[in-house]
């Protein structure tokens, strides 16, 4: 039996074929929008030319002096170049010359990008015309205000603050804290200082621990999510005027694009993603295969929903985190040695008792990245699918029940399947 899943998002996307014994019972649970068709270049242009909640960009930009276009990094599946090109056409119609436009990768506290990373996100033609910069979260930034939700002081990237038109390009897929990515996250954490990012990340937990706020964070929760409210409020304070948010299919292609004001564009994208990223949870599985693609350099994000599908009396999880880039460099929450980590590092979550083995598959060995996973003896690392199959066959025979989630890093399950009392997945 063969099941194909998408791989190599930032190289040459291609199917990877998973072989299973013919006598296994294997089901595939795709997210709702997995097979949605990609928008054409003309459809992307039409969305950019007809924003919601704001005048056309060519009108809004007229008379502006400097433009900052913010775009997300390789931890997100957004193909930013095809969206940026019609935005640039609008700016040209407004009379803004190339020398007054710059791109800033909204890294938050992720590791800096190289030129090749910029090319993957934007395309060589944009790099040839415009300067593209990394965000540096370690400089103080410019204070622009304080949120009312968490009293988060917003210190904005100075280059961005000096521009009088700020445009954000990103995608909306499930997010463990903010419900969905996109929206104001292109500002916070995207181009804010470490002080701002740390305050936002810690404030929710302090408020919840003190019993002052209900625990309403989690995958797919966005309308009543205080973390999301704080983030979007920060973006409003920072003056984000134009937002382009993509909804993507299983191959990371843009299948819907919402352009306009922060509130209207994000709300429309999140409503779409609520159906498009929704997957049906399988239960009572002997083997759960969790594939990551769009967020493959944060492959560990494919684990929380996988654990929910394992049978109560024991089973295995296979995580496919097949990334030539390895795992994300995260200055806030990542490991930097055996004894040194970022200030918000938390040891990898405990593997549930009913998960007998966590098998992590990557063809690209990277010992340092293993710290993102539990040090439990339950964890096994394999560089070939044959090695994975060998481990599975040792323990599982005929009529093994298995599920494959092709988009486990960006899907979510319905809230009725979630435990929101702790703010985390069940």
Report pLDDT digits (tens) over 332-371.
999 999 889 998 888 777 899 999 999 999 999 999 999 9
Q: 326 near 297, Cβ under 8 Å? A: yes
> What pTM did the predictor assign?
0.94
Mean pLDDT of the chain, nearest integer: 94
**Backbone φ/ψ region at 252: left (φ over 0), alpha (ψ -120 to 50), beta:** left
Interval 255-263 mean pLDDT: 98
Residue 319 has pLDDT above 50, yes or no: yes
Residue 418 has pLDDT above 80, yes or no: no
Closest CA to 70 of 111, 114, 105, 121: 105
In 151-238, the DSSP E strands lie at 153-156, 165-171, 174-175, 179-180
Residue 422 has pLDDT above 90, yes or no: no
Q: Is 355 helix (H, G, I), strand (E, B) or coil?
A: strand
| Furthest C-alpha separation in the chain | 70
Whole-number pLDDT of residue 209 = 62
Q: 357 near 389, Cβ under 8 Å? A: no
DSSP state of 318: E
Domain locations along the chain: 2-30+280-417, 41-276
Which fold, 41-276? Rossmann fold (3.40.50)
Residue 204 has pLDDT above 80, yes or no: no
Q: 167 near 48, Cβ under 8 Å? A: no
Whole-number pLDDT of residue 168 = 98
Going from the C-alpha of 220 to that of each of 184, 257, 273, 279, 288, the distances in angstroms are: 16, 19, 9, 11, 21
Report angle CA 204, 135, 130 to the nearest 5 degrees: 140
Half-sphere exposure of residue 173, counting CA atoms within 13 Å on the CB side?
31
Whole-number pLDDT of residue 215 = 61
The CA distance from 351 to 303, in Å, is: 9
Which fold, 2-30+280-417? 2-enoyl-CoA Hydratase; Chain A, domain 1 (3.90.226)
Residue 267 has pLDDT above 90, yes or no: yes
Residue 420 has pLDDT above 80, yes or no: no
């Amino acid at each position: 039996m063969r099941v194909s899943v998408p791989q190599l998002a930032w190289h040459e996307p291609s199917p990877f074929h998973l072989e299973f014994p013919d006598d296994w019972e294997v089901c595939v649970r795709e997210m709702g929008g997995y097979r949605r068709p990609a928008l054409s270049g003309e459809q992307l242009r039409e969305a950019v030319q007809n924003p919601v909640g704001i005048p056309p960009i060519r009108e809004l930009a007229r008379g502006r002096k400097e433009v900052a276009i913010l775009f997300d990094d390789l931890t997100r599946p957004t193909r930013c170049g095809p969206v940026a090109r019609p935005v640039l056409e609008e700016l040209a119609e407004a009379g803004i010359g190339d020398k007054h436009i710059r791109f800033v990768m909204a890294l938050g506290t992720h590791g800096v990008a190289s030129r090749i990373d910029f090319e993957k996100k934007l395309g060589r033609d944009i790099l040839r015309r415009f300067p593209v910069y990394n965000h540096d979260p370690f400089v103080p930034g410019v204070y622009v205000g304080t949120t009312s939700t968490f009293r988060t002081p917003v210190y904005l990237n100075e280059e961005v603050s000096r521009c009088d038109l700020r445009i954000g390009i990103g995608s909306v897929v499930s997010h463990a804290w903010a419900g969905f990515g996109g929206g104001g996250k292109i500002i916070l954490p995207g181009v804010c200082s470490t002080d701002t990012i740390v305050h936002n990340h810690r404030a929710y937990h302090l408020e919840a621990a003190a019993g002052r706020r209900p625990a309403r964070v989690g995958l797919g929760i966005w309308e009543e999510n205080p973390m999301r409210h704080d983030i979007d409020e920060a973006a409003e304070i920072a003056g984000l005027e134009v937002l382009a948010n993509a909804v993507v299919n299983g191959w990371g292609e843009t299948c819907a694009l919402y352009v306009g004001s922060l509130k209207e564009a994000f709300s429309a994208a999140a409503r779409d993603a609520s159906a498009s990223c929704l997957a049906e949870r399988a239960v009572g599985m002997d083997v759960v295969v969790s594939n990551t693609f769009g967020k493959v350099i944060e492959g560990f994000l494919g684990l929380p929903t996988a654990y929910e599908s394992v049978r109560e009396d024991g089973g295995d999880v296979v995580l496919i985190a097949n990334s030539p880039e390895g795992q994300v460099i995260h200055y806030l929450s990542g490991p930097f040695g055996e004894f040194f980590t970022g200030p918000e590092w938390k040891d990898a979550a405990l593997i549930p008792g009913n998960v007998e083995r966590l098998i992590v598959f990557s063809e690209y060995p990277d010992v340092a990245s293993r710290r993102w996973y539990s040090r439990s003896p339950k964890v096994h690392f394999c560089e070939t699918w044959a090695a994975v199959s060998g481990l599975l066959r040792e323990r599982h025979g005929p009529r093994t029940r298995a599920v494959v989630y092709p988009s486990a890093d960006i899907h979510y399950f319905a809230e009725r399947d979630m435990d929101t009392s702790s703010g985390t997945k069940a």
